[in-house]
Structure 1
Amino acid sequence: HHQKMLGFGAAMTHSSAYLIYRNTRRNDIMESLFSATKGIGINVIRIPIDGSDFLPGQPYTYADSGNLNDFSIRKDKEYMLPILKQALSINPQLAIIASPWSAPAWMKYAPFWDRSHSTLNGGSFNMKYKDEYATYLVKFLQEYKNENVPIYAITVQNEPGFEADGYPTMKLDAGDEKELVKTLGPKFSSAHISTKIIIYDHNWDHPEYPISILNDPQAKMFIAGSAFHCYGGDRKAPLQVVHAHPDKGIYFTECTGSNADTTWKRVFRWNFVNLFIGQPRVFAKTVLLWNLALDEHHGPVLTTPGCSRGCGCKDCRGVLTIKGKSTFEKNVEYYILQHFTKFVQRGAVRIESTSDVGEGGTLHSVAFKNPDNNIILIVIN
């Protein structure tokens, strides 16, 4: 018997929430995503803390003025919180993982390409502000809880190895992330916050990053596990973290569909082999895609004039495509998700199954034992 599953889903970015909120078929869309009877019953989503590249307006944080006195989530009340509340009302089991793309600009160093001032887009975290930033994240969790939107887990920083000049990003090296965890952990405890702390949240190519943090016992005690994305490295890399720290979880938290490839068969197979079968086989408790919904122009996505170092994804495909005010289409990712959300229950335990077998190792499988004792075997040839 291996890991206990949390579930499968995708990200409710600001763009996704905005498109769904404004659509006349909002209730149909929400049920098709979150209802176990009328839809596919997604039970885990990821949300950005403040902004990402998928935003209908300009990026913001909850405290842009230079201190925490004016901390406010009021902008999230426009469409993000109403959509999250609706998702929870359809599926009360929904677990939400929240990830910051950047700390407020005043807590950061300026990016290397423009040392004149710090900005949301790029630059690295200034550890002088670790206490304020930990308080900022605590305030976010408390405000969301007050809105009856509990956060199951946070990742400390989305893609901490990457900085872009086109959208909110922040470099955070492993040593700094480790210190931030040691600040966050006690703050969570004293505020009676049970939200889990997940580290790394970046590609398969640097498993040494989470390992180095978990090697510190003082940090490790506060950490639930490590999260991975699919945009670099080998899909089996999380095993290195499992071998070093078998007592900590693995979460797979992001991979986008892309209109660069619309061949159903190829997309289906790649997602099964690498993500939906491949990641639980390397002990992931979740498999999450990127945007739940985008429009037919792959947006709304931030466009930053003069951007040259990471301008946001211009051909990302959502699980759904929302066209105009009243129509939506289910993409291949919707049907891929359904193979898992419809059969694998919350709390299912992965059990051993043979995989990478047959001629050229083309047969892949994953097996689960549900809490109701049913055995689920999912195979792709």
Structure 2
Amino acid sequence: MKRIAAALFGLVLTAGCTSIAPPAQAPAEMWLTTADQSQKLAPQPIVAPTGPATGDETVTIDAARRFQRMQGFGAAMTDASAELFSRLPDDKRKAIMAELFGRADGGLGLSFTRLTVGASDFSRTHYSYDDTPGNAPDPELRYFSIAPARQYVLPRVREALALNPELKVMISPWSAPAWMKTTRSLIQGQLLPQYYPAFANYLARTVEGFEREGVSVAMLTIQNEPDFEPDSYPGMRVNSPDRAKIIGGFVGPALRARRLKTQILDYDHNWDNPEMPWTVLSDPVARRYVAGVAWHCYEGDVPAQSQVHDAFPDKDTWFTECSGGEWQPKFDETLGWMTDKLIIGGANNWSRGVLLWNLVLDPAHGPHKGGCADCRGVVTIDPATGAITRNVEYYVLGHASRFVLPGAYRVAATKRDSGVEAAAFVNRDGSRVAILHRNSGEGPVSVAIDGSRYVVPLAVGSVATLRWGGIGGR
């Protein structure tokens, strides 16, 4: 097969890797989701080139200009999500897991997920991995146990890894154990400095425990949303100078001493305060241990990612949380906003991976204890009937995850029309992928790639994925 591909397409060596250049005038496969929901990630007729590129196309893709390598797209396997999967009959669970994590038969091929260290608001109870009798201090972590994760979360992640071995897992705590904090509660408060060493060991032992259960942890953050103290579910404020101390003096050395390969990401919070990760990355000790910055969507805007990346170009960028919900119930509004900000905007502002929040919730937006009462999962599972609903977020992710494979490069995509957003990628097999969203205006979108011109019918509000040189997947 490799000899055939080489004979047809020729081998091109770029950026230290081997890729296959599609021939000039290659046709493009296309998948479409429309604002009126009449098409949902639906295959379209092949888009044939209309001739050579003329230079005035709406979008011009330069596959030779390569930027970050992509890991992929996905959502969090929260306690709620893992429980809902686990309560399905085996055959139904296996089918929906294969659809989400596998690539056969049009599966989404999700390749990035996030787990909580202890409880979040999407847990039935509030707990940590070191809850002690009477909330007594336990600096030696004698009561440490990842037993809560063994019930639902780790089995489902192992199942996902079997379907997609390229799946990468990150973890984030919502709170340190209550006895480590100023409030002596999982809710609100700060980490007491005398427990910095114990907290570092707590995270390291979590990584080791998960790995013994067959779930390798690629990345961690030391705190979810460290500038927020929720009043109804676990949380903890950790300002930037303190995060620098904890990472540089304790968590980084603890992981290194155990020879753990898990990377540390800073921040794990919104676009509106880029000075916060900037402060941590400016600390010379912490910077040695920080591999990248994690971002959320709830305040600010996505160009903040580039602001920090441009100042610290050796650090990776990851987008690690955004939830859909009933505050934005309209399919077309969520489709457009998430595609523009998270998929296209995230990649164009250096994200190597994009995560939504809950992978699965029930029709009552749970199970949860405190926190968000109207969040929406990528998929809704009704535990009473077993009915499965694929929400708008499913199609947002699918337009990228099915086609932009782990190891792909983002490449240059320039546009001449403010009513169109675009991102482009080159996979390891040389196939080219473009994701387009027409957010205003009318008429077809012209695309130039590899010297050819393509004219793509794209109504306002529609999202399209184009692929050149791919094999199968329709």
Asked if structure 1 preserves the Cα contact closer than 8 Å seen for 2:324 and 2:376, the reply is: yes
Superposition TM-score, scaled by structure 1 size? 0.93
What is the match of residue 73 of structure 2? Answer: 8
Alpha-carbon offset, residue 64 of structure 1: 1.0
CA positional deviation for 1:238: 1.1
Runs of at least 5 residues in structure 1 that lack an aligned partner in the other structure? 111-117, 304-311
Secondary structure at 1:198's aligned position in 2? strand
Aligned match for 2:244, one of 163, 178, 183:
178
How many matched pairs? Answer: 362
- Quote the offset at 1:261 in angstroms: 2.1
Unaligned 5+ segments in structure 2 are 1-65, 439-474
Is 1:47 the counterpart of 2:115? The answer is yes
Task: Tell me the amino acid that sits aligned with residue 253 of structure 1.
Answer: T
Separation in structure 1 between the aligned mates of residue 347 and residue 182 of structure 2, nearest angstrom: 37
Matched, 1:202 2:275: no
Q: Residue 175 of structure 2 corresponds to which residue in structure 1?
A: 102
Preserved contact between residue 277 and residue 366 of structure 1 (Cα < 8 Å): yes
Aligned to 1:121: 187
> Structure 2 length as normaliser, TM-score?
0.75
Shift of 1:170: 0.4
RCO greater where, 1 or 2, for CA within 8 Å and sep 6 or more?
2
CA offset digits 1:127-179 (Å, max 9, x no partner): 22110100011110111111111111001110000001200000000011001
User: Could you tell me how far apart the structure 2 residues matched to 1:20 and 1:301 are?
Assistant: 15
Distance 2:425 2:118 in 1: 35
Find 2:198's aligned residue among 132, 141, 144.
132
For residue 239 of structure 1, report the CA deviation from its aligned partner.
Answer: 1.3
The corresponding residue for 1:307 is none
After TM superposition, list the pairs within 5 Å mapping 1:275-314 onto structure 2: 275-303=342-370, 312-314=371-373
8 Å Cα contact 1:322/1:328 also seen in 2: yes
* 2:390 counterpart of 1:330: yes
CA distance in 2 between partners of 1:89 and 1:351 (Å): 30
- 2:190 maps to a residue whose letter is S
1:362 matches 2:419: yes
TM-fit CA distance, 1:262: 2.5
Contact 2:87 2:383 survives alignment (8 Å): no
**Does 2:344 align with 1:252?**
no
CA deviation string 1:93-124 (max 9, x = no partner)? 110010010000111112xxxxxxx2101111
The aligned residue for residue 432 of structure 2 is: 375
Helix, strand or coil at the partner of 1:353: strand
Q: 1:35 is aligned with what amino acid? A: G
1:219 has 2:286 as partner: yes
Q: Which digits, 9 at most, give the CA deviation of each residue in 1:165-218, with x for residues without a partner?
A: 200000000011001111111111110100010000000001001111111221
1:320 to 355, 371, 379: 379
- One-letter code aligned to 1:21: S
Q: Which residue of 1 aligns with 2:412?
A: 352
Do 1:127 and 1:176's aligned partners in 2 also have CA atoms closer than 8 Å?
no
Higher relative strand content: 2
RMSD value, Cα: 1.0
Runs of 4+ in 1 over 2 A off after TM superposition: none
1:232 alignment partner in structure 2: 299
Match of 2:166 among 75, 88, 93: 93
